[in-house]
Structure 1
Amino acid sequence: MGNREDLLDAATRCLESKGYVRTSARDVATAANVSLAAIGYHYGSKDALLQAALRQALERWGDELARSLAATPLDDDPVARFTALWDAIVASFAANPSLWRVQFEVLAQPDLPDELRGLFRDAHRQARLGLVELFGGAPDGEAPRVGAVYQALLGGLAAIWLADPAGPPSGDDLLAAIRAVASTLH
């Protein structure tokens, strides 16, 4: 690997071990065994490097989730598919706990830089559409709304998992809860 790749790899490790806010340029340079100036040369700034590392980590999680879901037996029955997919998604949190901690840490920043806000905005929009497709689509014109609900469920489940890894409801429990809520909406 060259310095650029070493820096990206080191930034990812620092994000996992220290988080976004506590990672310094010196931490990354030391972990990559390169000079501090290499960050500016290859990425322009520490923030740009950390954003690239975070983007790569999000993409990697998406790829890992896709592989995991591809290995999950999915029934053509939408109910069975719903429950199996949510069980697999919750299970995926354990494979990447630091990624979820970093995301919540970054999103909780009061003055989130525009670049980071854009990174998360774009990632969430893409995730919403991907979730709609994954769960079997949505009625015409409803994909943005349905995707937003899936995204809210995913984020909420991740938050529950971070606080208590045994706490998230199962796919069956989610289905029962959604049906219970829907039954009250006459």
Structure 2
Amino acid sequence: MGHRELLLDAARRLLEDKGYAHITARDLVAASGTNLASIGYHFGSKNGLLNAALGDVFEEWTDALAEVALADPHASPLQRAHLTWATVLLHLADKRALLLSFVEALAQAERDPALREQLAEVQDRTRTRVAEIVATSYGDADVHADDPRCTAVAGFILAVCDGLALQWLLDPQRSPRPEHLLAGLNDLVARSQN
């Protein structure tokens, strides 16, 4: 395994153990068995490395959610969205430390333009991946992921996922339960069709 991979692996572990705001470059070097120069060479900065690790984690999570959303080829786009949100709620406990690290990174992004741009790129890649799922859900060969309707729906789906995650981080006991969310959304859809 090369220095780049060793650094990413160490960053992921440290993001879970220490949180974004408390990781030093020396922590990364010690955990990876590399050197300070490797961080700059491969990622430009400590924050660049941490953001790359966060991006990898969220891309993996997006891919896992995509598998869930696309598992039933007969599900409607709305059913796929509901299933995705319920799955997010089911797995938030597994992602708590990384979610907290992401919130810490967001808090610092306002004062660090490079960090902000890197996080925006992660968000854009995630939105694009979700837009691909939305386009697939339509079942129409003429609808593509770059269709503004697909990217808008993808943005909405991400906003709901992010909102559910923040509610859960603040108070897991009072955040929605997957079964309640699905029942409520199904009831809302049924009532809007009457």
Q: TM-score range by the shorter chain?
A: 0.7 to 0.9
Q: Per-residue deviation at 1:82?
A: 3.7
Structure with the higher fraction of residues in helix conformation: 2
Q: Deviations over 1:90-110 (max 9, x none)?
A: 223233222221221211226
2:83 matched residue in structure 1: 84
Whole-Å separation in 1 of the counterparts to 2:80 and 2:90: 15
Query: Which string of whole-angstrom CA distances, capped at 9 and with x for unpartnered residues, describes residues 95-146 of structure 1?
Result: 32222212212112263422222233233334334434435349x7533433
TM-aligned CA deviation for residue 23 of structure 1: 0.5
Residues matched between the structures, number: 180
Partners of 1:85 and 1:171 within 8 A in 2: no
The separation in 1 between residues aligned to 2:128 and 2:162, in whole angstroms, is 15
Q: Does 1:172 align with 2:183?
A: yes
Q: Secondary structure at the match of 2:86?
A: helix
* Root-mean-square deviation over aligned CA pairs: 3.0
Q: Which residue of 2 aligns with 1:60?
A: 60
Question: What is the TM-score of this pair, normalised by structure 2?
Answer: 0.74
Q: Closer, same or farther in 2 for the Cα pair 1:73/1:51, shift >3 Å?
A: same
**Is 1:44 paired with 2:44?**
yes
Deviation sequence 1:144-175 (CA, Å, 0-9, x none): 43333222211111111222334225223245
Cα distance between partner residues in 1 of 2:17 and 2:187: 37
Tell me the percent identity: 35
> Structure 1 unaligned runs (5+)?
none
Q: Partner of 2:133 in structure 1?
A: 134
Aligned: 1:99 with 2:95:
no
| Secondary structure in 1 matching 2:122 | helix
TM-score by length of 1: 0.76
Shift of 1:24: 0.2
* Aligned residue type for 1:161: W
